[in-house]
C-alpha cells in the first residue's frame, strides 16, 4: 500500500503559513488539560500554551495573533511585509470563535 505524501507548502517567509491545533485531554498533567500548539511552517518554530479548558484556545489564539502579527522588529527593516501572518490552518472545530475569525479577517489573515 502506497504511503500518502504530504502536501507541499510553498512558503518563502516566516509566519506566512501557521497551523494551530489543540492536543488533549492530558490525563497525567495536573496543571493543564489541553495544549494549544502553534506551528510556523517556514521556520518550523513551535509555540505551545497550556489550557485549563478547551474553550480557552480561541482566546489564547487571539492573543498570540494580535501580538505576533506585524512584529515591530520586522516593521523597521526591509522585511516589513514578509513578517505578516498570511494564512492560518485550523481544524474545522467550533473552538475558533467569531472574535478570532473577525481579527484574522480584519488583519488580512486567511483561515484555511
Predicted confidence (pLDDT) per residue in 24-80, tens digit: 998 887 889 999 999 999 989 999 999 999 889 989 998 898 888 655 555 544 444
Write down the residue that cell numbers 507548502 correspond to: 9
Report the predicted TM-score, pTM, of the whole model to 2 decimal places: 0.78
pLDDT attached to residue 66: 82
Q: Are 18 and 9 spatial neighbours (Cβ–Cβ below 8 Å)?
A: no
Q: For the chain, what is the domain count?
A: 1
Q: Confidence band (pLDDT; 50, 70, 90) for 84?
A: confident
**39 is a domain residue:** yes
Residues in CB range of 69: below 8 A, 6 or more apart: 15, 84, 85, 107, 109
Which range marks the domain in which residue 69 is found?
17-111
3 located within any domain:
no
Residue 112 pLDDT > 80: yes
Amino acid at each position: 500500500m502506497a504511503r500518502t505524501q504530504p502536501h507541499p507548502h510553498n512558503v518563502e517567509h516566516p509566519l506566512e503559513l501557521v497551523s494551530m491545533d489543540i492536543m488533549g485531554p492530558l490525563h497525567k498533567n495536573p496543571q493543564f488539560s489541553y495544549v494549544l500548539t502553534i506551528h510556523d511552517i517556514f521556520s518550523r518554530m513551535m509555540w505551545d500554551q497550556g489550557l485549563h479548558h478547551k474553550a480557552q484556545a480561541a482566546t489564547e489564539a487571539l492573543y498570540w495573533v494580535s501580538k505576533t502579527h506585524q512584529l515591530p522588529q520586522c516593521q523597521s527593516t526591509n522585511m516589513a511585509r514578509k513578517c505578516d501572518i498570511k494564512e492560518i490552518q485550523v481544524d474545522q472545530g467550533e473552538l475558533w470563535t467569531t472574535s478570532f475569525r473577525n481579527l484574522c479577517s480584519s488583519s488580512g489573515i486567511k483561515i484555511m
